[in-house]
Every structure is written in C-alpha cells, then in structure tokens.
Amino acid sequence: MNMRWIAPALLAPLALAACQQAPAATPPLQGARIGGPFSLIDGHGRAVTDRSFAGKWRVVYFGYTFCPDVCPTDVQNIGAGLKLVEQERPEQGAQVVPIFVTVDPARDTPAVVRQFTQAFHPRMVGLTGSPQAIAAAEKAYAVYARKGETSPAGGYVMDHSRQAYLMDPAGKPVALIPADQGPRAVADEIERWVS
C-alpha cells in the first residue's frame, strides 16, 4: 500500500472541517445602538409598536414599495430565506417575524405596504406611518433615507441605506441579514442565531 497517499487522504476531511465557520459565541451586533421604540401603522391600519413584537425574533428591513430594483429583490430574498428556515427548522422559522418598514410614507399607505409584503411572505408585516414616526424609526435603526429629485412626471426615488437586521426577542440587535446574497444566505444567518 502506498503510504504517501494515506496521510493526505486522512488530513483532507480535517482541513475541510477547519475551513468551515463555527458559530460565533458573541453576536456581531451585540451592544450596538440599533433598534428602540417605534409607533407605526400596519397594513390593516392598526397601530403597531415595537412592543407588538416582544418575544419574537425579527428581521427588520427598511425600503419602499416603489423601489425599481433593490428593495423588491432584498425583500424577496428575506421572504424566501425565511421559507427555507420554516421548511428545514419549523420551530425556528415560526419564531421569526419579517418586518418591512417604508421610508416613503407619502406613497406607501397601509394598503400598499400590505399588498407589497404579502407578495413575499404570508407573515411579513408591512409598516408605515406619519413622516415624523418613520423618521423616528429610521433614527432608532440607524437608517439613512432621503427623497431624491422629482422628475417632470412627478415620480421620484428614495435614497436609503440597505441593511436588514436580525433582532432578538427583547428587541436587541444580533446580526445583519445578508439579503443581497440570496435566500440561502438569509436562511443560514437566521438558523445560526435563532434558538
């Protein structure tokens, strides 16, 4: 038997195991000043606060329904990623509430955010509110948003930061959800932290 090939063959599985990332003991956003009280309106016109989600894990994403590309793609990935978790680990998946908060309350009425979110996940909650309430939520979640230039036809885009937060049942930040990397990456990050 050729011994030169045995050692590498035995070491290969160990090398592969060493390359796999072990879960971090400390959440990457632990202690960050992200999140906090908010008072908004859901897609059914009901008042919703941060306390409405107490005891639930949340994926919180800020965007707007008239976004031509990025927001629908990110929200689709969040919804599809959560569906993967629900299939693979139903108990974990049931603990997570996906939340979409508009940065464009002038156009994103309760009915509009409800229709938008239901296209991506049946449990996704769409939130809107007064410009002041949205601005307060943006500040609490360290989100940048600004109305872009208005076109001659009256349309406009919203410039805004692009991040999805995983928040724990107490409303504390845990990790960024990689919504720009597809459903599998979203599912992996949820499965990594939700217990």
51 class by beta-carbon count within 10 Å (0-12 exposed, 13-18 middle, 19+ buried): exposed
- Per the structure, the complete domain to which residue 140 belongs is given by 32-147+154-193
Domain membership of residue 9 (yes or no) is no
For the ranges 12-26, 96-110, 142-156, the lowest mean pLDDT is seen at 12-26
Domain membership of residue 93 (yes or no) is yes
Domain membership of residue 58 (yes or no) is yes
DSSP per residue, the chain: --HHHHHHHHHHHHHHHHHSPPPPSS-TTTT-------EEEETTS-EEEGGGGTTSEEEEEEE-TT-SSHHHHHHHHHHHHHHHHHHH-HHHHHTEEEEEEES-TTT--HHHHHHHHHTT-TTPEEEE--HHHHHHHHHHTT--EEE-PPPTTS---EEE---EEEE-TTS-EEEEE-GGG-HHHHHHHHHHH--
Specify whether the CB–CB gap between 74 and 177 falls below 8 A: no
Q: Which pLDDT belongs to residue 24? A: 52
Average pLDDT over all residues of the chain: 90
Residues annotated in a binding site: 67, 71, 160
159-182 pLDDT tens trace: 999 999 999 999 999 999 999 999
Collect all residues with Cβ–Cβ distance below 8 Å to 91 and sequence separation of at least 6: none
Residues annotated in a binding site for Cu cation: 67, 71, 160
Domain membership of residue 43 (yes or no) is yes
Domain membership of residue 176 (yes or no) is yes
Tally of domains within the chain: 1
Domain membership of residue 12 (yes or no) is no
The enclosing domain of 68 has a CATH number of 3.40.30.10
Domain membership of residue 15 (yes or no) is no
Question: Structure pTM?
Answer: 0.86
Specify whether the CB–CB gap between 63 and 102 falls below 8 A: yes
Q: Which pLDDT belongs to residue 105? A: 97
Q: Which pLDDT belongs to residue 141? A: 97
Domain membership of residue 177 (yes or no) is yes
